[in-house]
């Protein structure tokens, strides 16, 4: 029975992987059910029973998530182009669907996103993915690396993690104004707080760009700092890098006690290497660093 269930879950996982990798293609019922080798006459019921939403809605939400990221974080794409990427050939139809889901027009979201309804709208998608797409890590996934000290410029986020998107928008705009592109200057997040145990109003995270050149504030509150060098346990995360809590949990709960190592007096941090939506979500990459003594 366990083997049969594992095989069933593996077939469903293939469907989610296929959708992620072919989001721009025609994902009709015939094509998607064939990936799992299920009958098209039963697949839609099987998918809904397994994930809590229909395959059509799952695909819509996946495309709409990419569209919302493109609106919020990329100003080089028009709303019309983003609508077409999301499968809407009429911008008005995209605008109606977007407003219905998020309570804002695409243009309004681009200018000043309301992140709380946005987060709530993707609850069903996140719940569906959590069924089988939870990353699992082993002791061998963690490597110990000697890292060089990195001078950084810091934009601090203080307050509810739900509103981090607005700080990211400001950070991206500031980087563009200063010419510190992610391709030339590395991107880091330093996690001063654990969102599971910290009151939302007291949550703090630093958005950092690695540079030692003089910088201009361009109206933002920024400061210089240093990510210290030294030994670090490093865990590479590929795919959905929005939430790194599972990876952090593996480092603290599983790897650290078994390693015999001790954590150093500097917070957990990550380097963002490949960004969604610059790359498809399944190709996003982040490396999580746990500083060691």
Angstrom distance (rounded) from CA 223 to CA 206 = 10
What are the φ/ψ torsions at residue 232 (nearest 5 degrees)?
-140, 145
pTM: 0.89
- Are both 2-132 and 139-291 of the same fold? no
All structural domains of the chain with their residue ranges: 2-132, 139-291
Domain spanning 2-132 has what CATH number? Answer: 1.10.10.60
pLDDT of residue 133: 62
For the CA atoms of the chain, what is the radius of gyration? 21
| Domain 139-291 superfamily per CATH | Regulatory factor, effector binding domain (3.20.80.10)
Report d(CA 237, CA 283) in Å as an integer.
10
d(CA 148, CA 151): 10
pLDDT at residue 43, as a whole number: 92
Which parts of the chain register pLDDT below 70? Answer: 132-134
> Which pLDDT does position 132 carry in this prediction?
66
Closest residue by Cα to residue 187 from 173, 177, 172, 167: 172
Return d(Cα 24, Cα 82) in angstroms, integer. Answer: 12
């Amino acid at each position: 029975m366990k083997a049969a269930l594992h095989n069933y879950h593996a077939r469903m996982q293939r469907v989610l992987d296929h959708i992620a990798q072919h989001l721009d293609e025609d994902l009709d019922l015939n094509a998607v059910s064939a990936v799992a080798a299920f009958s098209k006459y039963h697949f839609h019921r099987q998918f809904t029973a397994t994930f809590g939403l229909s395959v059509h809605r799952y695909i819509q939400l996946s495309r709409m998530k990419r569209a919302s990221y493109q609106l919020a974080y990329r100003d080089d794409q028009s709303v019309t182009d983003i609508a077409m990427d999301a499968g809407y050939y009429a911008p008005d139809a995209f605008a109606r669907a977007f407003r219905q889901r998020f309570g804002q027009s695409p243009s309004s979201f681009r200018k000043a996103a309301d992140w709380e309804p946005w987060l709530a709208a993707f609850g069903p998608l996140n719940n569906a993915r959590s069924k089988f797409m939870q990353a699992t890590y082993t002791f061998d996934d963690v490597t110990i690396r000697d890292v060089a000290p990195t001078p950084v410029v810091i934009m601090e986020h203080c307050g509810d993690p739900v509103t981090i998107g607005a700080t990211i928008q400001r950070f991206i705009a500031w980087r563009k104004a200063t010419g510190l592109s992610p391709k030339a200057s590395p991107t880091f997040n330093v996690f001063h707080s654990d969102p599971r145990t910290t009151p939302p109003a007291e949550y703090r995270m630093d958005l950092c760009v690695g540079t030692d050149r003089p910088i201009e504030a361009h109206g933002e509150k920024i400061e210089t700092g240093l990510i210290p060098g030294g030994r670090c346990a490093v865990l590479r995360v590929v795919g959905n890098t929005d939430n790194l809590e599972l990876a952090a949990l593996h480092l603290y709960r599983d790897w650290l006690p078994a390693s015999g190592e001790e954590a150093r007096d500097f917070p957990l941090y990550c380097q963002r290497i490949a960004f969604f939506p610059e790359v498809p979500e399944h190709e996003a990459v982040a490396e999580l660093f746990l500083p060691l003594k």
